[in-house]
Amino acid sequence: MNMEETLIKIKNEALSLILEASDIPQLEEIKLQFLGRNGKLTIAFKDLTKLPIEKRPEIGKLANEIKIVLEEAIDDRKKLLKESASQKERENLDVTNPGIKPPLGHLHLITQAISEITNIFEKIGITRVRYPEIEWDYYAFTALNFPENHPARDDWETFFTTEETNNKLGQIILTPHTSSGQVREMEKAVKQSQKTGDPISIRMLNIAKCYRRQSDVSHTQMFHQFEGLVVGENISIVHLKGVLDYFVKSYFGEKRESRIRPYHFQFTEPSFEVDVTCGVCLGKGCKLCKAGWLEMGGAGMVHPNVLKYGGIDPKKYTGFAFGWGVERVLMMKEGIEIDDLRLLYSNKLEFLDQF
């Protein structure tokens, strides 16, 4: 058999094996047998050197063509086998098998609390607004009746930025409390009333991220507050207490009571701290709460100076405000115990999945 015949024979033998191959491993085996390092065609290539020089180009060309034909045949067969395998799989599909459930996430605990709080206030017409998280000192302090350099500012443990200071608005800071939305809301309401001729009316709920330089088991540097502001004619403490009771019953449950205690804030007069009865002993006193009451946050009647900063005449209008922590009210809800508040923002699924 001359070289040409040998090559044709190798080609035919390989092609018939390729066509008969019934799975991919078998095809790989055939590839090795003919095109591998010691494969039949590879050896034939090596034998080319034994041919007389003038014959080599012609036979060499033939060998190359055969190599390409075999490679293509293997690839085609592979494709075909793969297609029929997936077709078979489809035919074997049992549609009565139960499906595989994709893992389902849920809203973060705080997001859930925020939407619950929003819904509660919406029912009495106090609706959500949003104000900047990065704020001028003016709205966070000055316009809330904190004179320049007043020591009370220190209580807010504020983060300051190195941005340029503005003559009227002061430094740019990270909002340390949602009260910063009060004067912004007043400015908006005044404009609105000038446009329509209607009396000024504010029913604001400002829920936002706040930032303070604090971090321990009960404090995170970023946390959330919800701030209520109601301004109108003849608004009194009675309205404040009514809204407070309504919120406490709706959020914590019918059995919980609230009370207000005198306190001091720069931006309210009179000012109060608001307490809610403990969810465990309902006010009797226990290990958790000591005297039966848990402190929820601040509230008060809007200070006349703050109304003035907002462009509202304090002789004509009055208002009340409150500012409470979302994380705090959540912890005060029965049945939720978080030893370290920082876990809320750690993104640990073992923790977050529980809620």
Q: Nearer Cβ to ligand DAH, position 34 or 136?
A: 136
Closest distance to ligand DAH from the beta carbon of 178 (Å): 7
Q: Nearer Cβ to ligand DAH, position 59 or 229?
A: 229
Half-sphere exposure (CA, 13 Å, Cβ side) for 25? 0
Q: What amino acid is encoded at 243 in this protein?
A: V
Q: Nearer Cβ to ligand DAH, position 310 or 323?
A: 323
Closest distance to ligand DAH from the beta carbon of 323 (Å): 2
181 binds ligand DAH (CB under 6 A): no
Q: Nearer Cβ to ligand DAH, position 251 or 272?
A: 272
179 binds ligand DAH (CB under 6 A): yes
Given 181, 298, 310, 319, the residue binding ligand DAH (CB under 6 A): 298
**Angle, CA 114 vertex, CA 112 and CA 116 arms, to 5°:** 70
Q: Please report, in angstroms and rounded to a whole number, the separation of the first and last CA atoms in the chain.
A: 81
Q: Mark 304-343 with x for binding to ligand DAH (rule: CB under 6 A) and - for no binding.
A: -----------------xxx--------------------
Given 251, 265, 293, 309, the residue binding ligand DAH (CB under 6 A): 265
Buried b (16+ CB within 10 A) or exposed e, 155-185: ebebeeeeeeeeeeebbbbbbbbbbbbbbbb
Closest distance to ligand DAH from the beta carbon of 234 (Å): 19
Token code pair at residue 305:
């100076």
Burial class (CB in 10 A: 0-12, 13-18, 19+), 139: buried
Closest distance to ligand DAH from the beta carbon of 210 (Å): 7
Q: What amino acid is encoded at 151 in this protein?
A: P
Segment contacting ligand DAH (CB under 6 A): 43-51, 78-86, 291-299, 337-345?
291-299
Spatial separation of the C-alpha atoms in residues 126 and 89, rounded to whole Å? 58
Residue position matching structure tokens 């109060």: 272
Q: How far is CA 87 from the centre of its chain?
A: 41
| β strands within 15-170, DSSP E | 127-129, 134-136
Spatial separation of the C-alpha atoms in residues 18 and 70, rounded to whole Å? 9
Q: Nearer Cβ to ligand DAH, position 34 or 251?
A: 251
Contact present, 130 and 226 (Cβ < 8 Å): no
Q: Which of residues 81-100 bind ligand DAH (CB under 6 A)?
A: none
Closest distance to ligand DAH from the beta carbon of 353 (Å): 31
Closest distance to ligand DAH from the beta carbon of 141 (Å): 11
Closest distance to ligand DAH from the beta carbon of 322 (Å): 5
Judged by the rule CB under 6 A, the positions of this chain that interact with ligand DAH are 177, 179, 227, 265, 268, 297-300, 321-323
